[in-house]
Amino acid sequence: MPLKLPDLFRTLSNQTRLEILTMLMDNYLTATEIATLLQIDLSTVYRHLQQMKKLGILTSTHLHGVERFDFSSPHIFRMLDEAITFMSELKGFSPIVCSEGICSYYLGGELDEIEPDQLLDMRGESCPVPDIQARKTLRKMNPGEILLVIVDYPLSGERIPASVQKEGHEFLKKVADNYGDIKIYIRRRENG
């Protein structure tokens, strides 16, 4: 039975499935690896993976008796990316340029020893929004500039450093405070 558009959007409307897809954006993973990273039950992860595979969103390959999952098409990734861009524009997400102490003022004077050039506040957003928004912001920055991303979603705190490093940016530091906020400092790569 071919996938229908309402089925696709209904499938993507589930936060756990979005988190699974986020994990697969950069990696070719097993259900066990995803369950460990998301800290949820393996049977739940496997059920979501099989549903997305049945609908044609994912594909899998068996290597040495282990099933690994991946996107079936780059269109799914681009669709998620465009949806996040749309939501970001609606919500007015844009980085703050840190000139003349603006970022220090924004954070109530709580800057670490690293002075960022831009600040992206993604508190209140869950994966994959902070991850994709951080990568988009870095692409627009000048080489060598430092981006401070603030998140309060633990998975984003893990994913952002890994994903930006895969794009060649330098992960400088991650600081978690007592309120559940995670500050991630990233230096924009020098070339490209």
126: which 2 tokens? 């869950």
* DSSP labels, 60-102: EEEETTEEEEEES-HHHHHHHHHHHHHHHHHHT--PEE--TTH
87 or 148, which is more confident? 148
pLDDT for position 61: 92
| Each residue's pLDDT tens digit, 99-152 | 767 777 777 666 667 788 999 999 988 877 888 889 889 999 999 999 999 999
- Fold assignment, 90-187: Translation Initiation Factor IF3 (3.30.110)
125 or 169, which is more confident? 169
* 103 has catalytic annotation: no
Count Cβ atoms below 10 Å from residue 114 Cβ, excluding itself. Answer: 13
Q: Given pLDDT bands bounded at 50, 70 and 90, which one contains residue 46? A: very high
Output the CA torsion 136→138→139→143 (10° steps). 180
- Taking the mean position of all CA atoms in its chain, how far away is CA 163? 7
* For the chain, percent of residues with pLDDT exceeding 70: 93
pLDDT for position 66: 92
The answer to whether the CB of 34 falls within 8 A of the CB of 58 is no
The answer to whether the CB of 138 falls within 8 A of the CB of 109 is no
| Each residue's pLDDT tens digit, 57-80 | 999 999 888 999 998 888 887 888
Output the CATH code of domain 5-72: 1.10.10.10
Annotated catalytic residue, options 127, 146, 149, 160: 127
Q: Which amino acid is at 190?
A: E
pLDDT for position 1: 57
pLDDT for position 109: 61
Q: Could you tell me the residue ranges of all domains in the chain? A: 5-72, 90-187
pLDDT for position 153: 86
pLDDT for position 52: 93
pLDDT for position 81: 79
pLDDT for position 185: 94
Give the integer Cα–Cα distance in Å for 27 and 70.
8
